[in-house]
Amino acid sequence: MRYVRAFVRFWWDFIVGDDWRAAAGIAGLLALTWFLEHERYNIWWLLPVGIALVLVESVRREARGGS
């Protein structure tokens, strides 16, 4: 059980890191992009702009000392 926990912890740290909100924001943006593209909307700008906003918010939160 200890090894399973360590394994899961390793991958969580590796992929999600110390800001799960940023990871959740990325997942939400990807889902929205996928959905809108499959509804035939041409929204190529959504992902770069959305990721920039996720980055700004994540940095701002950590700079303020929040987690």
Q: How many helices (H) and strands (E) does the chain have?
A: 3, 0
- Applying CB under 8 A, what is the total number of residues that bind other proteins? 31
Judged by beta carbon, residue 8 or residue 43, the one nearer other proteins is: 43
Q: Work out the angle at residue 18's Cα, subtended by the Cα atoms of residues 29 and 34, and round it to the nearest 5 degrees.
A: 15
Distance of alpha carbon 48 from alpha carbon 60, whole angstroms: 18
Restricting to residues 5-64, which ones interact with other proteins according to CB under 8 A?
14-19, 22-23, 26-27, 30, 33-34, 37-38, 42-44, 47-48, 51-52, 54-56, 58-59, 62-64
Smallest gap from Cβ 44 to other proteins, in A, equals 5
